[in-house]
Every structure is written in structure tokens, then in C-alpha cells.
């Protein structure tokens, strides 16, 4: 198996099913050795099984590729460190970490429990930070030792995070945090030869089939297949993508685009009288571009 990721060693978290599975399979087809991480849990994070990850590894190996299973919890500090160490021990190096693992516990804000908030923030936000941090430390040590580093961190945000979706204050907050994390980490790690980017995918998986996508017609389902997400992730993991960093890509089977982040909009001189603020703010809002809808376009 050879391609644009020949000789690369990649970790993919949450790779037992859905989008992560497609990432792992395509990376392997393009020549990468892959650590297939998955807890094998339910959508809400409950349960545990290495079966889904093992199935992906078996498929990669049967096709002539190289892959190993990892069952660590991505939000565990020690587990994330073990995952990074496993990649290095198994394949001799590490070139890319694809942070994909996630869960859903959707609820309207007025009904959301503390446990539902904490679980989603833990898996998505800390589960992005911990693997990225341990990988970054490895690459920094290599860079400081005078070795050439060509590292990649590829995170998974969401339209729910960068545009906003009702019923997902926990999930959206975590995914918005991941987008900000991506931009800042890209600035910090450039000196070590590491790029950091993110995708905001839209695809039909078991996590989204209950959000209305499951009732789509067959042509739409094909356009929303998770297989459309893997090509840009595979390219971002390759040596070819070294000039691109600090970006969030809006990706589906219908389009690939760069998500443009917060920019300062209409501006006024400040005042120290709160009675005067109202008219100023109303004018600024009237002149400002509307927030985007879940498709990334202005709400109207």
C-alpha cells in the first residue's frame, strides 16, 4: 500500500466507526501505519469494547497495510500518553494525530444536567488536548535535538461549534473550543515543524442519524457519507500540507470550504454613559453581518 502518506505514522482517535473509520482506512491505503484508537462505546460514551477498532485493524492488515489497536480513553492524561508511546514503539515514529473521538448528550439548556455537560466537554475538549499535548511534547524534544520534524495535528470541530445548533450547548461549546485550540496551537507549534488544522465535518453517522439525516433520500445519504471527509484529513496528514496551518475546514460530500473565523465588524467610539450605549449597539448590530446558519451562510 503506497500513496501520499507513505512512511507516515498516524493516530486516529474514535476510529472504530463512522468518520474515524474512514480516516484510518484511507490513511492506510495511502501508505500510513495507523494506530486505531476506539473505546467501542455507545454514542453517549457508555460501554466499552475493542471490537470496532479490531475490525478496522483487521481490514487494514488484510489489505496489506499496517495497523494496531489502541483502547485508551482519549480524555485520560495517562491514556493519551500511552497512545502516543504505542505509535512510536510499534512503528518507530509519529507524524500525525487525528483527534476524532466524540460523544453526544444533546439536551436543551434548561434541562441539561451537570453530568451531560461534563461528559461532552471531557471527551471532546480534553480528548483533543491530551493526545495533542503528548504528541507536541515528543515533536518538541526531537526538534530541540536538531532532528527534522514534520508533524501534524488534525482536530475535529463541527458546524454546531462554529455556527451553532439548538440543543447542543455542551457539544457546540466543546467544538468551538476545539476551533480556538487549533488556531492557538498552530501559532505555538510552528517553530517545531508542526502544523495544526481542524475540520468541521457534516456526515451521516450513528451520531447524526437521529438529527434528521437518517430520513434523507438515498442521493442525499450518499452525499453525506463519511467517506467524503477522509480525503482532506489524509492530505492534511501528508507531507504535502506543510504550508497550511491554523485553519478550520468545513467539509461534507457537498462542499469543501475554509471557515472564516471571528473578525471585528462595525465599530464605534466608546462612551462612559450606559444610557448612550443602547443606540450605539443597535446601530452596530444593524450594520453587522448576521450570524451564520448551520450551513455556514448568513441567517435570513
On whether both 277 and 186 belong to a single domain, the answer is: no
Nearest-CA neighbor of 149 among 5, 8, 26? Answer: 8
The tally of domains found in the chain comes to: 2
Per-residue model confidence (pLDDT) at position 204: 84
- The C-alpha cell of 126 is what? 480534553
Domain span at residue 278?
265-300
- Distance (Å, whole) CA 85 – CA 83: 5
**Residue 4 covered by a domain:** no
Q: What is the CATH number of the domain that holds 192?
A: 3.40.50.720
Cβ–Cβ under 8 Å, residues 153 and 196: yes
- Distance (Å, whole) CA 15 – CA 27: 11
On whether both 295 and 231 belong to a single domain, the answer is: no
**Given 75, 126, 138, 175, the catalytic residue:** 175
Model pLDDT for residues 245-262, shown as the tens digit of each residue: 999 999 999 999 999 999
Q: Predicted confidence band at 97 (pLDDT cuts at 50, 70, 90)?
A: very high
Cβ–Cβ under 8 Å, residues 90 and 33: yes
On whether both 82 and 40 belong to a single domain, the answer is: yes
On whether both 286 and 158 belong to a single domain, the answer is: no
Model pLDDT for residues 129-164, shown as the tens digit of each residue: 999 999 999 999 999 999 999 999 999 999 999 999
**Residue 104 covered by a domain:** yes
On whether both 205 and 275 belong to a single domain, the answer is: no
On whether both 50 and 182 belong to a single domain, the answer is: yes
**Given 157, 158, 238, 241, the catalytic residue:** 158
Would strands 248-251 and 256-258 be described as parallel, antiparallel, or unpaired?
Answer: antiparallel
Residue 124 scores a pLDDT above 70: yes
**Residue 128 covered by a domain:** yes
On whether both 289 and 153 belong to a single domain, the answer is: no
**Given 126, 171, 241, 252, the catalytic residue:** 171
**Residue 3 covered by a domain:** no
**Residue 1 covered by a domain:** no
On whether both 287 and 166 belong to a single domain, the answer is: no
Model pLDDT for residues 33-60, shown as the tens digit of each residue: 999 999 986 655 565 667 899 999 999 9
On whether both 179 and 238 belong to a single domain, the answer is: yes
Q: Is there a catalytic annotation at residue 158?
A: yes
Q: Is there a catalytic annotation at residue 46?
A: no
Cβ neighbors of 66 (< 8 A, separation 6 or more) are 28, 33, 34, 60, 91
Q: Is there a catalytic annotation at residue 144?
A: no
On whether both 292 and 238 belong to a single domain, the answer is: no
Residue 214 scores a pLDDT above 60: no
**Residue 2 covered by a domain:** no
On whether both 246 and 272 belong to a single domain, the answer is: no
Amino acid at each position: 500500500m503506497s500513496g501520499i502518506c507513505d512512511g507516515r505514522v498516524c493516530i486516529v482517535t474514535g476510529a472504530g466507526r463512522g468518520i474515524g473509520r474512514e480516516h484510518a482506512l484511507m490513511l492506510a491505503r495511502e501508505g500510513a501505519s495507523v494506530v486505531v484508537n476506539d473505546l467501542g462505546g455507545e454514542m453517549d460514551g457508555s460501554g466499552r469494547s475493542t471490537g470496532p477498532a479490531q475490525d478496522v485493524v483487521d481490514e487494514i492488515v488484510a489489505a496489506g497495510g499496517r495497523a494496531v489497536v489502541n483502547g485508551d480513553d482519549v480524555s485520560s492524561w495517562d491514556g493519551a500518553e500511552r497512545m502516543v508511546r504505542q505509535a512510536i514503539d510499534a512503528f518507530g515514529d509519529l507524524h500525525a494525530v487525528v483527534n476524532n473521538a466524540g460523544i453526544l448528550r444533546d439536551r436543551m439548556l434548561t434541562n441539561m444536567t451537570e453530568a451531560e455537560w461534563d461528559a461532552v466537554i471531557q471527551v471532546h475538549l480534553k480528548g483533543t488536548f491530551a493526545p495533542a499535548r503528548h504528541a507536541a511534547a515528543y515533536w518538541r524534544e526531537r526538534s530541540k535535538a536538531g532532528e527534522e520534524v514534520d508533524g501534524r495535528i488534525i482536530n475535529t470541530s463541527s458546524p454546531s461549534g462554529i455556527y451553532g445548533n439548538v440543543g447542543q450547548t455542551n457539544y457546540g461549546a466543546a467544538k468551538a473550543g476545539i476551533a480556538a485550540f487549533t488556531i492557538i496551537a498552530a501559532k505555538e507549534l510552528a517553530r517545531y515543524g508542526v502544523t495544526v488544522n481542524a475540520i468541521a465535518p457534516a456526515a451521516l453517522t450513528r451520531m447524526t442519524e437521529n438529527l434528521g439525516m437518517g430520513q434523507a433520500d438515498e442521493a442525499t445519504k450518499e452525499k453525506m457519507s463519511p467517506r467524503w471527509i477522509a480525503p482532506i484529513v489524509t492530505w492534511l496528514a501528508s507531507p504535502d500540507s506543510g504550508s497550511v496551518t491554523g485553519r478550520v475546514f468545513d467539509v461534507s460530500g457537498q462542499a469543501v470550504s475554509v471557515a472564516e473565523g471571528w473578525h471585528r465588524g462595525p465599530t464605534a467610539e466608546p462612551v462612559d454613559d450606559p444610557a448612550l450605549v443602547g443606540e450605539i449597539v443597535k446601530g452596530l448590530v444593524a450594520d453587522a453581518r448576521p450570524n451564520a446558519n448551520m450551513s455556514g451562510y448568513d441567517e435570513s
